[in-house]
Amino acid sequence: MLNPLTPAELEALRLSLSVALRSVLLSLPLAVLVAWVLTRARFPGRTLFDAFVHLPLVLPPVAIGYLLLLLFGAHGFLGAFLREHLGLQLAFTTAGAALATAVMTFPLMVRAIRLSLENVDRGLEQAARTLGARPWDRFRSITLPLMLPGILAGVVTAFAAGLGEFGAVITFAANIPGVTRTLPLALYTAMQSPNGDAIALRLALLSFALGLLGLLAAEVLVRRARRVLGR
């Protein structure tokens, strides 16, 4: 029988939940905007922009973490600016772990929202336009509610995926207990430790359960949203 989680393991769980939630909150407004641009806008370089948005899906997570380190590290262009002018440090911090997770899960959110937006009946938007509704009013009252299933699916899927992010986090934010040691990093640490098999098993099973619950929650929320919208 597996023993209860230790305080260190509970701290890793808390950090994982916090980092995943912060990454989703950071990504969501930009993901909606990018999904809108990729679906509705036509401009030169659109295909290249689309490929750039989805790069984290095909690049090694360690490469993403290294690029973030170059940009937001203490001597990086953006990192030095943030530290000098705003007193902010992202590398090797919990906020940095959230940033790395947000970058890795961003394409998942964009894809889900984009698919939902592509299914929105543009005739409803045109009808509202002929009735005098302004662009923001049309988006807020018609488009956004119809996008809701995709938004919910994107948020929950990105959150679940964020719980398991490893490569980008350990590269950009390191493996600091109580600061950046999330569940995947705690699992990795247990696997590298003598007699850490029992800890690794508990954390692996916990990660499996969280991932499964996240995917099930996404499916349930999408179905309920579609039922409410009559789709």
Sequential DSSP letters for 113-163: HHHHHHTS-HHHHHHHHHTT--HHHHIIIIIHHHHHHHHHHHHHHHHHHHH
| Residue 126 to residue 69: CA distance in whole angstroms | 46
Name the pLDDT band for 26 (thresholds 50, 70, 90).
very high
- Domain assignment of residue 2, yes or no: no
- Domain assignment of residue 208, yes or no: yes
Instruction: Name the domain count of the chain.
Output: 1
Question: Crossing angle of helices 94-118/7-40, nearest 10°?
Answer: 40
Domain range enclosing 100: 7-229
In the DSSP assignment, the letter for residue 55 is G
Asked whether the predicted pLDDT for residue 71 surpasses 80, the reply is yes
| Residue 20 to residue 125: CA distance in whole angstroms | 34
- Domain assignment of residue 210, yes or no: yes
| Residue 142 to residue 123: CA distance in whole angstroms | 11
Closest to 78 in 3D by CA, of 62, 90, 94, 66: 90
What is residue 3's predicted lDDT score, i.e. its pLDDT? 67
| Residue 186 to residue 177: CA distance in whole angstroms | 8
What is residue 229's predicted lDDT score, i.e. its pLDDT? 66
Once rounded to an integer, what is the mean pLDDT over residues 21-44?
A: 93
- Domain assignment of residue 143, yes or no: yes
- Domain assignment of residue 223, yes or no: yes
CATH code of residue 109: 1.10.3720.10
Residue 123, both tokens: 């005739």
- Domain assignment of residue 115, yes or no: yes
Name the pLDDT band for 162 (thresholds 50, 70, 90).
very high
